Amino acid sequence: MKNLRLKAARAAQDLSQQALADRVGVTRQTINAIEKGDYNPTINLCIAICKELGKTLDELFWE
């Protein structure tokens, strides 16, 4: 399932996929795969992304 909430939160902060990837220590392709729903990130990566975007796990990853 696509993660449109992650994409929207990233875009709201005017961050590219590459910029977010650099901040959390993964590749741009990983961020792209998460947004497309092709990759299920680890809890540690989810937490790192949430910290960078100022969001909670509930807001970005859990339904």
Q: What is the model's pLDDT at position 63? A: 73
Q: Quickly count helices (H) and strands (E) in the chain.
A: 5, 0
pLDDT in tens, the chain (63 residues): 789 999 999 999 999 999 999 999 999 999 999 999 999 999 999 999 999 999 999 999 987
Q: What is the model's pLDDT at position 1? A: 78
- The residue written with tokens 């901040």 in the block is 23
CATH number for the region 4-57 comes to 1.10.260.40
Reported pTM? 0.92
Q: What is the model's pLDDT at position 62? A: 85
Distance, in Å, from the CA atom of 60 to the CA atom of 8, rounded to the nearest integer, reads 10
Closest CA to 54 of 8, 21, 5, 9: 9
